[in-house]
């Protein structure tokens, strides 16, 4: 069987489902190298509680070296393993700052091994110098796995062969979400009770870290504008963060009015799923990442801003007017107008239809199929 060495930085929680499928494939061997230490704040997972003894043999630790605890610049073991171990393909993060990855690519090429990268590709907002360094690094790869179609188009525009670019999207644990979704659908849960004075109003949801860049003040301002003459919407804020207490104090009047609820954190998968399922619209006024996939998995439409240069790849999952909508960045009036327009046309949700894009693209089984095709066919 073909063997893949995958060098990555950490074990982020959202990679659990796809990594589990990759290491358990009976068609190729997939070994993962990463660091258990994590200075960048992304939630990680513990191997002991999630994988059995056989599965854990597929995971190996290395040491990361960071610049200012933000930029990964070197990884131990990568050069030795690329130079001397037996494998067919090496897969690296497509991050140009990792010096060891540049050297590993050169070693792999000397040994006649294929190089894969799992990468954002181009973001579209790079400076001239950064763009060309990134392009030169990505050109070292034989195949690049990308998170979004936009990145693929940008690379093709810059001379890359389309046949060497695969969009694998991103995913969460779809099987768990599917299980919870079907349970909620069977129970016909429509509201989480006792969160608002008038539970009959549409519930708009924000879920995530409450930080400045998430711009929840924009969302609160939009709903406040809509509720000025008559309270028409409830707003549920789920999460915690540095700005939580500030927003609570600043919006005490709205809290007292009964349409704004700061729920706090929710780390329980089933509880979070119910909060999403019983909401009518999920809005990320800053950039949107995997929250889009999380929400759409439960058939709840999603809204975020339309400036793709300041967005995360998952914004592509929003099909404007079908499973959510896009609004002008930093424009609370446009957001308010689009919310009203959305609910005027979508009084009753077809959650199965809204979930369609996750079922087709943003799930681990689709990712696995794309990886498998490359690993088996070279």
Mean pLDDT (the chain) is 94
Q: Which of 203-217, 290-304, 340-354 has the highest mean pLDDT?
A: 290-304
Shared domain for 182 and 154, answered yes or no, is: no
Q: What share of the chain in percent tops pLDDT 90?
A: 83
- Distance in angstroms (rounded) separating the CA atoms of residues 248 and 235: 13
Length of the chain equals 378
CB atoms within 10 A of CB 266: 17
Sign of the dihedral through C-alpha 13, 16, 17, 22: positive
CATH of the domain at 28: 3.40.50.2000
pLDDT value of residue 254:
83
Pair (151, 59) in one structural domain: yes
> Cβ(213)–Cβ(244) under 8 Å?
no
At residue 316 the predicted structure's pLDDT band, cuts being 50, 70 and 90, is: very high
Rounded CA gap, 248 and 73, in Å?
40
Clarify whether residues 89 and 197 are in a common domain: no
DSSP state of 41: -
How high is the pLDDT of residue 251? Answer: 84
Are 216 and 167 in a shared domain? no
Query: pLDDT value at position 149?
Result: 97
pLDDT at 190: 62
Question: Same structural domain for residues 337 and 233?
Answer: yes
pTM confidence score? 0.94
Average pLDDT over residues 335-355: 93
Q: What is the SS3 string spanning 195-236?
A: CCCCCCCCEEEEECCCCHHHCHHHHHHHHHHHCCCCCCCEEE
**Mean pLDDT, to the nearest integer, of 325-340?**
96
Considering Cα of 293, then 163, then 9, then 84, what sign does the dihedral take?
A: positive
31-35, 103-107, 329-333, 374-378: lowest mean pLDDT where?
374-378
d(CA 39, CA 307): 29
Supply the pLDDT for residue 1.
93
Region at 285 (left for phi over 0; alpha for psi -120 to 50; beta for the rest) = alpha
DSSP-assigned states of every residue in 68-112: TTTEEEEETTHHHHHHHS--SEEEEE--TT-HHHHHHHHHHHHHT
At 152-181, the pLDDT tens digits run 999 999 999 999 999 999 999 999 999 999
What is the Cα–Cα distance from 15 to 31, expressed in whole angstroms?
A: 14
Q: Are residues 156 and 250 in the same domain?
A: no
Q: Predicted confidence band at 185 (pLDDT cuts at 50, 70, 90)?
A: very high
* Domain identity same for 124 and 234: no
| pLDDT band, very low/low/confident/very high, at 192 (cuts 50, 70, 90) | low
> Where does the pLDDT of residue 44 fall: very low under 50, low under 70, confident under 90, or very high at 90 and above?
confident
CA 326/CA 44 separation, integer angstroms: 30
Mean pLDDT of 141-161: 98
Could you list the residue range(s) of the whole structural domain that residue 107 is in?
2-171+363-377
**Residues 160 and 228 both lie in one domain:** no
Residues 153 and 182 in one domain: no
Beta bridge partners of 325: 303
Distance CA 88, CA 201 (A): 57
Under 8 Å between Cβ of 238 and 300: no
Going by their DSSP bridges, the two strands 324-327 and 302-305 should be labelled as: parallel
| 296 and 158 within one domain | no
Token pair, residue 59, equals 């995971």
Q: Residue 201 pLDDT > 80, yes or no?
A: yes
pLDDT category at 37 given cuts 50, 70, 90 is confident
* Pair (322, 373) in one structural domain: no
Q: What is the pLDDT of residue 9?
A: 95
| Predicted pLDDT at 126 | 93
Burial class (CB in 10 A: 0-12, 13-18, 19+), 279: buried
> 218 and 348, same structural domain?
yes
Structurally, the chain folds into a number of domains equal to: 2
């Amino acid at each position: 069987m073909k063997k893949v060495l995958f060098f990555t930085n950490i074990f982020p929680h959202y990679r659990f489902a796809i990594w589990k499928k990759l290491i358990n494939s009976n068609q190729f061997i997939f070994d993962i190298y990463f660091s258990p230490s994590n200075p960048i704040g992304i939630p990680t997972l513990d191997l002991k509680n999630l994988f059995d003894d056989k599965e854990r043999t597929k995971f190996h630790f290395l040491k990361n070296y960071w610049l200012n605890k933000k930029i990964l610049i070197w990884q131990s073991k990568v050069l030795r393993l690329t130079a001397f171990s037996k494998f067919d393909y090496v897969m690296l993060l497509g991050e140009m700052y990792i010096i060891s990855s540049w050297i590993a690519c050169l070693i792999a090429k000397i040994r006649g091994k294929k190089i894969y990268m799992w990468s954002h590709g181009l973001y579209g907002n790079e400076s001239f110098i950064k763009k060309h360094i990134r392009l030169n690094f990505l050109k070292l790869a034989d195949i690049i796995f990308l998170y979004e179609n936009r990145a693929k188009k940008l690379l093709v525009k810059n001379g890359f062969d389309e046949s060497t670019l695969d969009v694998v999207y991103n995913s969460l644990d779809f099987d768990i979400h599917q299980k919870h979704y079907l349970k909620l659908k069977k129970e016909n849960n429509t509201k989480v009770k006792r969160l608002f004075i008038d539970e009959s109003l549409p519930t708009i949801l924000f879920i995530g870290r409450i930080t400045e860049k998430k711009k929840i003040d924009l969302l609160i301002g939009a709903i406040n504008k809509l509720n000025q003459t008559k309270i028409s919407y409830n707003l549920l804020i789920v999460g915690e963060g540095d700005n939580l207490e500030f927003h609570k104090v600043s919006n005490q009047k709205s809290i007292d009015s009964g349409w704004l609820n700061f729920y706090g954190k929710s780390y329980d998968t089933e509880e979070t799923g119910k909060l999403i399922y019983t909401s009518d619209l999920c809005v990320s006024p800053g950039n949107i990442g995997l929250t889009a996939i999380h929400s759409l998995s439960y058939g709840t439409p999603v809204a975020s801003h339309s400036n793709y240069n300041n967005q995360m790849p998952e914004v592509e999952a929003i099909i404007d007017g079908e499973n959510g909508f896009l609004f002008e960045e930093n424009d609370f009036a446009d957001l308010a107008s689009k919310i009203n327009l959305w609910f005027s046309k979508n009084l009753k949700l077809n959650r199965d239809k809204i979930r369609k894009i996750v079922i087709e693209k943003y799930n681990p089984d689709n990712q696995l199929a794309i990886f498998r095709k490359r690993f088996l066919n070279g």
